[in-house]
């Protein structure tokens, strides 16, 4: 009986942890989306539209972002940090290397990019 109680408590607690970490992820995704769309932050929408939403701005020159949910997080991070490592003639600026976005901001952007199918 005692064991069952302990198990119930343990599963209730782990349930809580799970929901709160999911909520945390949602916040991160929202933060990343904001950075993506904000001119003096990522301003990614100036060059990219995402998910087929035609939000590309006047300077549009990047590919439409799709199927990014299949990319490993590290590859997305590296792309945003410094696209020249994988594409030496990239016209995308190095947001991390240039110091435009912090590590935490890039991680938020990556969380948002992972939601793009
Ligand atoms: C000045 C225009 C420009 C801006 C601003 C820009 N990008 Fe890009 N991006 C490009 C170009 C051009 C490419 C294609 C060449 C390459 O892969 O390096 C690209 C490629 C990418 C790719 C790879 C897409 C694929 O399917 O291969 C990702 C992911 C990406 N950008 C994310 C971002 C994010 C996130 C931001 C904002 C933090 C951003 N970009 C801002 C121009 C831009």
Confidence at 70, pLDDT banded by 50, 70, 90: very high
Residue 95 has pLDDT above 70, yes or no: yes
43 lines ligand 1 (CB under 6 A): yes
* pLDDT one-digit tens code per residue, 22-65: 666 889 999 999 999 898 999 898 888 887 665 555 556 788 89
State how far the Cα of 27 lies from the Cα of 29, in Å rounded to an integer. Answer: 5
| Cβ contact 96:103 at 8 Å | yes
Nearest Cα residue to atom 43 of ligand 1: 92
Ligand 1 centroid from CA 47, angstroms: 7
State how far the Cα of 97 lies from the Cα of 70, in Å rounded to an integer. Answer: 24
The b-or-e profile of 29-38 (16+ CB within 10 A means b, else e) is: bebbbebbbe
Ligand 1 centroid from CA 44, angstroms: 7
Length of the chain as a residue count? 117
85 Cβ neighbours under 8 A, 6+ residues apart: 78
């Amino acid at each position: 009986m005692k064991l069952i109680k302990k198990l119930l408590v343990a599963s209730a607690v782990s349930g809580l942890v799970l929901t709160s970490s999911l909520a945390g992820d949602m916040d991160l995704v929202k933060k990343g989306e904001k950075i993506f769309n904000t001119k003096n932050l990522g301003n990614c929408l100036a060059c990219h539209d995402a998910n087929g939403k035609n939000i590309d701005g006047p300077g549009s020159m990047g590919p439409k972002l799709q199927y990014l949910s299949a990319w490993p997080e590290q590859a997305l991070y590296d792309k945003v940090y410094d696209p020249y490592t994988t594409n030496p003639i990239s016209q995308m600026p190095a947001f991390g290397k240039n110091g435009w976005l912090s590590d935490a901001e890039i991680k938020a952007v990556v969380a948002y990019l992972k939601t793009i199918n």
